[in-house]
Structure 1
Amino acid sequence: MSSEMYSIKDLENLSGIKAHTIRIWEKRYKIVQPGRTDTNIRFYTNEDLKKLLNISMLSQYGFKISAISEMSDEEIANKISGLKIVNQQDTYSDSLLLSLINLDEQLFNKTFLDIVMTEGFENTIIKHIFPFFRRIGIMWQIGTINPAQEHFISNLIRNKIIVATERITRVVNQDLGTALLFLPENELHEIGLLFFNYILRSRGFKTIYLGQSVPYESLDRIVTACDFAFIVTNLTTPLSEDDFMKYCRTVCLAVPGSKVYFTGPIPENVNKHLPDNALFKKDLLTLLNISEE
């Protein structure tokens, strides 16, 4: 299917509304009306998805489906814009998704600020933004999001983390040591690493942030140029067991006296063969006193 064509299962995954409920709304209220392909397969459009997300948000605020079905698109939009978003996970998630679909920076900023004001910056990223990215991952898998939309939302979030990091006023605790953060070669998705940089600095650690796609051979030079307590590196693209082990050994052997925290997708059954200084995300979260829940 193209980016403009969704199955009813796609709508269920993206909107959180059960397929059975969507069908009832179709028949009873004519809220959405699927199209048909040349081979008579039912499909839905971006407009259908946006309408379902809007309806889901209004229904969470007490609006009856029967009343919503009689509203024009303009009336629905006006009702949505007049809502004061409160601490509801589903409402936040729908608002973030709508900002992605519509490339709506104003809606994203409003939603993000509402969450931060209620839950703080750290919980906003952990409890809302990272689950939102998992939701975006579903959209990638079923082909219903294009690169422009993903880049749009990723850059907004990236900028939020950078600004929050720059605003940290906590004095560095020299006793904690220095953390070196970088992404491996050809790895460009740095939001996870940026957030770990923020967390470390907010806890009083000094950090050296190298960023994206750092060549392996440059590590030796970095090791001799600075003194650090541990390394944090992040993967977003899953590696095979052999490729991960090669990468893991390369990094760990380059810094035999330092712990190396590998975050992101890790192949199963590699623990028995790892260097002694290799650790994982759960170990880093324990160090930083962060719950995975």
Structure 2
Amino acid sequence: MNNIKQFFSIKDLENLCGIKAHTIRIWEKRYNLLSPNRTETNIRTYSLENLQKLLNVTYLVNSGYKISRISKLNNQEINEYVRNIVSDNSTKNQAINSFKIAMLNYDLHLFSGTYEQLASKRNFRQIFINVLIPLLKEIGLLWQTNTISLSHEHFITNLIKQKLLLNIEKLQYSKPSKKDKAFILFLPENEIHELGLLYIHYEILLHGYKAIYLGSSIPLYSLPNLLSFHDNNIFISYFTIKPEKENISEYLNEFNKVVCTDKMNEFWILGKQILNSPKSNQKNHRYFESINEFICEL
């Protein structure tokens, strides 16, 4: 699972580029766009260079260029056309493609260069919500379909985590300006997916609130120690894989017994595990279906 993936099937290209396999075959036959290798059983296989070219071609097509025109360009000219196209939406699409190429090649410099280019025109919130969240959703699907390996996924998510931590650190130098409530952020036991909760931490600090970030896999019995932190505490968690949907109600009830004995304390929950899952009727529990919905509440 952790081996570097050097060759891709036509289905992999379809998943990575968003272009139907049928269309890719037409582009190969009609325009000689790609030159795949073939196995002994005559199945197409594509190199990283093929994939990178198709990502750039897809970007140009989505930007309004006709495939008949693109097919007449060499690889260097295609790269130059991509670099020269500038608009807000196209920058977003090209950045996502560049991040995917950086992931596939384990290319730190491409990731950093792409990020810095975005940062010269956008603030961190715009980068994270408009570019990195869509990228992470794509990466999740690519991993689920075995298009990328676990090492690819870890490489890119750790680089994104670094950017989150850097931007959080910048905000931590300022004292909180709002003192009516405080936030305590944690993940349930055996939950290790931190990116969503880290970004929530960033937003809380950006809005001027007090916050304590505990991180991943926190047992409930350790949380009551924080109740004296503030008169009005809001606990926040992000359920990505834990607890399982069938155990969420039990977990929430246990949280109230162990932690939220005071009506002033609330529990706010995000994450895909709470979507379409049973929710408790406790008044001190709040559910958010998206980060944007959470931001509007701050």
Coarse TM-score class (shorter-chain normalised): 0.7 to 0.9
The equivalent residue for 1:112 is 115
Distance 1:157 1:200 in 2: 19
Give a deviation string over 1:162-205, Cα, whole Å, max 9, x none: 11122226541343311000111111221111100000000011
Return the offset for 1:86.
4.1
Aligned ranges 1:173-252 → 2 under 5 Å: 173-224=177-228, 227-237=231-241, 239-252=243-256
Aligned-partner Cα distance in 1 for 2:81–2:152 = 22
Shift, 1:290, TM fit: 7.1
Amino acid at match of 1:202: L
- Give distance in 2, aligned partners of 1:128 and 1:161: 14
List structure 1 segments (4+ residues) > 6 angstroms apart after TM superposition.
Answer: 61-64
Q: Would the alpha carbon gap of residues 171 and 84 (structure 1) be closer, same or farther in structure 2, given more than 3 Å must change?
A: farther
For 2:220, what is the secondary structure of its paired residue?
A: coil
Instruction: Name the stretch that deviates more: 145-154 or 235-244.
Output: 235-244
Residue in structure 2 matched with residue 31 of structure 1 by the alignment: 33
> Which of 269, 286, 290 is matched with 1:262 structurally?
269
Give the TM-score, by structure 2 length: 0.83
Alpha-carbon shift at residue 80 of structure 1 (Å) = 6.9
Distance 1:48 1:171 in 2: 51
Name the residue aligned to 2:23: 21
Q: Is the 8 A contact 1:85 1:111 kept in 2?
A: no
Matched-pair contact (CA < 8 Å) for 1:244–1:267: no
The residue aligned with 1:172 is 176
Q: Say if 1:31 and 1:69, in contact at 8 Å, map to a contact too.
A: yes
Is the 1:176–1:204 contact (alpha carbons within 8 Å) kept by the matching residues of 2?
no
CA distance in 1 between partners of 2:291 and 2:180 (Å) = 14
- In 2: Cα distance, 1:65 partner to 1:267 partner: 40
Look up the match of 2:144. Answer: 141
The residue that corresponds to 2:80 in the other structure is: 79
Letter in 1 for 2:282: P
- 5+ residue gaps, structure 2: none
Aligned equivalents of 1:45, 1:214: Cα separation in 2: 43
Alpha-carbon distance in structure 1 between the residues aligned to 2:248 and 2:9: 36
Identify unmatched segments of 5+ residues in structure 1. Answer: none
Partner of 1:124: 127
CA apart distance, 1:72: 5.4
Alpha-carbon distance, 1:18 to partner? 3.3
Q: Compute the RMSD of aligned alpha carbons.
A: 3.1
Supply the distance in 1 between the matched residues of 2:282 and 2:223 (Cα, whole angstroms): 17
Q: Report if the CA contact (8 A) 1:85-1:114 is conserved.
A: no
Q: Give, as a single letter, the amino acid of the residue that structure 1 aligns with 2:251.
A: Y
Q: Whole-Å Cα distance in 1 between the matches of residues 34 and 78 of structure 2?
A: 16
| Structure 2: distance between partners of 1:84 and 1:144 | 28
Which among 261, 271, 284 is matched to residue 277 of structure 1? 284
Q: Please, what TM-score do these two structures have when normalized by structure 1?
A: 0.84
Residues 122-151 of structure 1: CA distance to partner in whole angstroms, max 9, x if unpaired? 121111101100110111011122222222
Cα 1:194–1:112 change in 2 (3 A) is same
2:295 corresponds to which residue?
288
**Percent of residue pairs identical:** 34
Aligned residue runs from structure 1 range 47-58, under 5 A: 47-58=49-60
Amino acid at match of 2:93: D
Note closer, same or farther for the CA distance 1:20–1:98 as it changes in structure 2 (3 Å cut): same
Partner of 2:159: 156
CA offsets 1:210-250 (integer angstroms, 9 cap, x no match): 11111222112233565552011112216433222222222
Q: Distance in 1 between matches of 2:69 and 2:142?
A: 30
